[in-house]
Amino acid sequence: MPARGATGYAFNRTRTTYLATELMIARTHWTRFRGLMATDASRFRRGQGLWISPSHGVHTFAMRFPIDVIYLDQERLVIHIEEELKPWRLAAVRIQATSVLELPMGMIRESQTELGDQVDIFLERPLDTEAA
């Protein structure tokens, strides 16, 4: 996972279910690029997630495990879904996306998240205090 910065949680308001209760935020150029690279699967377990903002798409280069990916627009509506994105792949680019949620594999199915769902991101501390 990226170095400790702002944290929070992601909640699918449409399905009334949590997507991540331990959400790390990647907002700097470096943390967005690094993402989950070189992270061991045991360190990215159910309940965790990475919110990459801003982002139009992601890659899984140097990753060791598949992930679920949810693309969100400016209103945080789900506009694209990638289930079980395997390591060493380049995911779709969606110009309408303003951020992307990376979640442990199986979370999309488990939460029944679908296109058009409303996702709320709650932060434990303001983003402007995140270290670069």
Question: What integer pLDDT is reported at residue 129 of this predicted model?
Answer: 40
Higher pLDDT, residue 38 or 28: 28
**Does the pLDDT of residue 116 top 70, yes or no?**
yes
Share of the chain above pLDDT 90, in %: 74
Find out whether 114 and 79 touch, Cβ atoms under 8 Å: no
**Does the pLDDT of residue 15 top 50, yes or no?**
yes
Token match 């990753």: residue? Answer: 63
Q: What is the pLDDT of residues 69-83, one digit of tens each?
A: 999 999 999 999 999
Task: Set out the domains of the chain in order of their start, with CATH numbers.
Answer: 7-126 (2.60.120.1140)
pTM for this model (two decimals): 0.88
* CA 58 – CA 71 distance, rounded (Å): 10
Find out whether 118 and 77 touch, Cβ atoms under 8 Å: yes
